[in-house]
Amino acid sequence: MSDAGYTLAEMLVALVIVGATAGAMTEGAVSLARIQGAAAASLSRGRVQARVQQSFAAFLRDRGPFRSGPDGDLLRGDGAGLDFGCGASTCHVGLNGSGSSQWLALDDGQGGRARFALPGGGDTRFVYGDGETLLAAWPPKEEGRLLRTVSILSDAGPVAVAELALQQPADCQFDPIVRACRKGADGRR
């Protein structure tokens, strides 16, 4: 630099440095906004999933036990929904909609209905677990299987899981080998 001021070359170098600094700061701000948006979306999905999990598990709490076979309690389900007896009426749980606008519908058979938006992540379906396998429908053809869980799965992973009550009758003599109540001398369980 001379006493007369900056030279043209010095001025251009200074402008390039200021421009590069401003560009880097802008890129940093854009990246930060992108990360913040992704974090907010993930938090929102987590809240939706927690609400679905809580409502689904509460609706099925203290229901059952549900067994397969002719003398089993009645629960019929497939990938789209399930129905079971609750008191004098029939309760229904269903998945409605498609793609990113799907919801869980709960109907207690007595006029009480609720709908919950499902987190995005592809198509959802019900899956039924008996502790050994996951089944696409309930009841299975094999008799004596006990329904332990009902899950809602999406293409992105599990959405909600409801564990069912595993109750035995008061006169149950539980056999840990076959995992069921033994039949007594009178032929009853």
In angstroms, rounded to a whole number, what is the distance separating the alpha carbons of residues 41 and 47? 10
Question: Does residue 63 lie within any of the structural domains?
Answer: yes
In angstroms, rounded to a whole number, what is the distance separating the alpha carbons of residues 60 and 77? 13
Q: 70 in helix, strand or coil?
A: coil
Q: Is 28 left (phi over 0), alpha (psi -120 to 50) or beta?
A: alpha
Question: Does residue 40 lie within any of the structural domains?
Answer: no
- The 3-class SS string of 82-133 reads EEEEECCEEEEEEEEEECCEEEEEEECCCCCEEEEECCCCCCEEEEEECCCC
Question: Does residue 9 lie within any of the structural domains?
Answer: no
Question: Does residue 76 lie within any of the structural domains?
Answer: yes
Give which of 52, 40, 13 is closest to 152, Cα–Cα.
52
Q: Which residues of the chain fall short of a pLDDT of 50?
A: 187-189
Give which of 177, 110, 186, 100 is closest to 144, Cα–Cα.
177
Q: 174 in helix, strand or coil?
A: strand
Q: What is the pLDDT of residue 69?
A: 64
Q: What is the pLDDT of residue 189?
A: 42
Query: What domain range includes position 128?
Result: 49-163
- Going from the C-alpha of 171 to that of each of 73, 147, 167, the distances in angstroms are 18, 20, 11
CB within 8 Å of 3: residues ≥ 6 apart: none
Q: What is the pLDDT of residue 73?
A: 63
Q: What is the pLDDT of residue 187?
A: 47
Question: Does residue 135 lie within any of the structural domains?
Answer: yes
Q: What is the pLDDT of residue 126?
A: 92
In angstroms, rounded to a whole number, what is the distance separating the alpha carbons of residues 32 and 40? 12
Question: Does residue 41 lie within any of the structural domains?
Answer: no
Burial of 40 (0-12, 13-18, 19+ CB in 10 A): exposed
CB within 8 Å of 182: residues ≥ 6 apart: 173, 174, 175, 189
* Count of domains observed in the chain: 1
Question: Does residue 169 lie within any of the structural domains?
Answer: no
Question: Does residue 35 lie within any of the structural domains?
Answer: no
Q: 147 in helix, strand or coil?
A: strand
